[in-house]
Amino acid sequence: MPNLILNSVASLSAMGLLFGAGLAYASQKFAVEVDPRVEAINEALPGANCGGCGFPGCGGLANAIVNGEAAINACPVGGASVAEKIGEIMGLSADAGEKKVAKVICKGTCNNAKEKSEYYGIKDCRAAAMVSGGSKSCQYGCLGMGTCVNVCQFGAITIKDGIAHIDKDKCVACGKCLEVCPKAVIAWAPYDQEVIIECNSKEFGKDVKTKCAVGCIGCQICVKACPFNAIEFENNLAKIDYSKCTQCMVCVEKCPTKAISGEINNRKKAVVEEESCVGCTICKKNCPVEAIEGELKEKHTVIEDKCIGCGVCIKKCPKKAIKFK
């Protein structure tokens, strides 16, 4: 009997030692450096290895996030709190300059856009869109059934007056709403971008006009009015190139149907600091709306009523004498 116990203990210990030594050697021999972020994200994840994200366990998801293959909120179990932690690790929320948000590009509220029929089916945009494109007469507009609201894990989307609104402070740019929207009426826009063409209709102007009071009718006034050639026109719809747009809001003023968002009252105004100005006239030459006056070698001033707050003079001034107020 003592022999039996001794044998069991000895053989198992021997095996354990053997495997342990083998593994210790192997771990030295086959050591691979791992991205520290992967481990940090792995710590932040719930660790249930449930596979709910579609990746092989939490480790798989951590790798995918670091490689940029998955969004920071891809873990359905952890929800917003885990996504926040991962965001910190990845530094995604930190770089505000690059931050983009999802934006519903439709202003077709109950008052603005006409309905063509009444819909009594399942309260889901995807289902509604299958029934002859939904109840809205405009087939490009937001249906407002809230499919995007349900899919947003951050509570950033609300339905108001029959269309979806995205709270850009809550939006983490996960892209779930873009994926799920059957009308593709949600688009990316920079966080700081206020001037956005809020219409998705690719129909001809006349048709747009009969269906919606605030649609882009394709008049191209904005295209011509834009001092920076930042607006392009294709498929009967104006499109802003956000890299060129200075948010001067000229287009917002000119748009006859008010389809371009932007609050003119919030427009910035440039001011010349007299003590720094050397009167080089560079700002005057570059101002797209002739809002700067002053002779060579004299102090320049900005005519406030004319200034559109585009910021071109601020960029051009060699003395950094112009600021927004």
Partner 1 sequence: MKEIFIILLSSILVNNFVMSRFLGICPFLGVSKKVETAVGMGMAVTFVMTLASIITYFVQKILVALGIDFMQTIAFILVIAALVQFVEMVIQKTSPTLYQALGVYLPLITTNCAVLGVAILNIQSNYNLIQTIFNGFGAAVGFTLSIVLFAGIRERLEIADIPELFKGFPIALITASLMAIAFLGFTGLVK
Residues that bind partner 1 in the complex, under the rule CB under 8 A:
4, 7-8, 11-12, 15-16, 19-20, 22-23, 26-27, 29-32, 49-51, 54-60, 63
Nearest-approach distance from CB 183 to partner 1, in angstroms? 19
CB nearer partner 1, residue 4 or residue 96: 4
Q: Which residues, at least 6 apart from 6, have a Cβ–Cβ distance to it below 8 Å?
A: none
Please report how close the Cβ of residue 86 comes to partner 1 at its closest, in angstroms: 17
Query: Which lies closer to partner 1 via its Cβ, residue 23 or residue 94?
Result: 23
CB of 70 to partner 1, least distance (A): 12
Report the candidate in 312, 315, 293, 295 with the shortest Cα–Cα distance to residue 304. 293
Task: Annotate 32-68 with b (16+ C-beta within 10 A) or e (fewer).
Answer: eeeeebbebbbebbeeeeeeebebeebbbbbbbbbee
User: Nearer Cβ to partner 1, position 46 or 279?
Assistant: 46
Q: Which is nearer to partner 1, 12 or 131 (CB)?
A: 12
What are the distances in angstroms from CA 27 to CA 15, 23, 150, 325? Answer: 18, 6, 46, 62
Q: What are phi and psi of 291, to 5 degrees?
A: -100, 5
Question: Least distance in Å: CB of 60 to partner 1?
Answer: 4
Instruction: Give the nearest distance from C-beta 16 to partner 1 in angstroms.
Output: 6
- Cβ nearer to partner 1, comparing 47 with 155: 47
Q: Give alpha helix (H) positions in the chain.
A: 2-29, 36-44, 57-66, 79-90, 125-130, 147-151, 176-180, 205-211, 221-225, 250-254, 282-286, 312-316
Looking at residue 311, its amino acid is G
Closer of 57 and 288 to partner 1 (Cβ): 57
Report in angstroms how near the CB of residue 1 gets to partner 1 at its nearest.
Answer: 12
